[in-house]
């Protein structure tokens, strides 16, 4: 039985359920295209914050002075890319070691793979982003804290996972976007809650606890899957 046999289309005997792999490939390409249309202009943007608001010469600063005050990068582009490649490769090996070590623990503790992936691996894998978010929030930089956490999730959802789906077609195990209906509902509910809570630019203690409660509910669900 294929790994996507519990997805919503196949459960409803939809004709598209027989082409889940092809649909996943199309979806992955579309997500990557959308991601590139955002990330490329973002990386190329070098506008000084606030420079586009004031007219040229309005502050009495000579043209090009704002660019001169901009601090020079500590590392060159080639060095930065090289460090990212090395760090990414090292992270891949560490992740592989972590998963191999986690396998026996899953069997001994009798927990589901879904719980291990959504709770244990998610918390351990996002430890850096979660810690940075808490530290930034403690310093009063709330916008930056939310941005760090949200962008981390967006990078995985819009870039890493679609890329892994395409790469998996060359491997023994094929990944797809097919999920059990309960997980689709959890994703939709989580996305709506996150949008509602962070979209208005305001924060309250109960909203943070609401997100934590939603995560605990999903974790409890996966524990019995």
Tens digit of each residue's pLDDT (9 = 90 or more) over 106-115:
888 888 888 8
Q: Output the pLDDT for position 123.
A: 86
Q: Output the pLDDT for position 186.
A: 85
Q: Is the pLDDT of residue 158 over 60?
A: yes
Q: What is the pTM of this model?
A: 0.66
Give whichever of 32-36, 130-134, 176-180, 200-204 has the largest mean pLDDT.
Answer: 32-36
Tens digit of each residue's pLDDT (9 = 90 or more) over 2-58:
444 444 455 556 676 677 888 889 999 999 999 999 888 877 775 544 444 444 444
Closest CA to 19 of 184, 187, 174, 188: 174
Residues 160-175, mean pLDDT to the nearest whole number = 88
Residues 62-91, mean pLDDT to the nearest whole number = 74
Q: Output the pLDDT for position 69.
A: 59
Q: Output the pLDDT for position 92.
A: 80
Q: Output the pLDDT for position 12.
A: 53
Residues 139-168, mean pLDDT to the nearest whole number = 86
CB 152 within 8 A of CB 129: yes
Q: Output the pLDDT for position 32.
A: 93
Tens digit of each residue's pLDDT (9 = 90 or more) over 114-137:
888 888 888 888 888 888 888 988
- pLDDT, mean over the chain: 78
- Give the span between the Cα atoms of 122 and 156, in whole angstroms: 11
- Give the span between the Cα atoms of 90 and 122, in whole angstroms: 18
Q: How far is C-alpha 103 from the chain's CA centre?
A: 24
Alpha-carbon torsion 27, 32, 33, 37, what sign?
Answer: positive
Tens digit of each residue's pLDDT (9 = 90 or more) over 97-106:
888 888 888 8
> Within 10 A of 178 (CB to CB), how many other CB atoms are there?
21
């Amino acid at each position: 039985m294929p790994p996507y046999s519990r997805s919503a289309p196949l459960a409803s005997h939809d004709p598209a359920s027989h082409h889940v792999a092809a649909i996943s490939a199309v979806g992955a390409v579309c997500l990557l295209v959308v991601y590139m249309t955002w990330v490329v202009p973002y990386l190329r943007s070098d506008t000084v914050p606030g420079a586009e608001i004031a007219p040229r010469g309005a502050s009495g600063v000579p043209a090009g002075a704002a660019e001169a005050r901009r601090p020079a990068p500590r590392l060159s582009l080639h060095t930065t890319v090289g460090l990212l490649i090395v760090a990414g490769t090292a992270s891949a090996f560490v992740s592989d070691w972590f998963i191999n070590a986690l396998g026996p623990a899953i069997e001994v503790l009798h927990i589901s793979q879904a719980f291990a992936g959504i709770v244990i691996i998610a918390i351990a894998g996002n430890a850096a982003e979660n810690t940075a978010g808490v530290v930034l929030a403690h310093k009063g930089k709330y916008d930056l804290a939310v941005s760090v956490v949200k962008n981390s999730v967006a990078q995985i959802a819009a870039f890493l996972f679609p890329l892994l789906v395409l790469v998996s077609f060359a491997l023994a195990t094929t990944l797809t976007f097919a999920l059990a209906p309960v997980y689709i509902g959890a994703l939709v509910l989580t996305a709506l809650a996150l949008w509602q809570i962070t979209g208005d630019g305001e924060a309250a203690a109960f909203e943070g606890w609401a997100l934590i409660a939603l995560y605990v509910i999903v974790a409890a669900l996966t524990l019995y899957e």
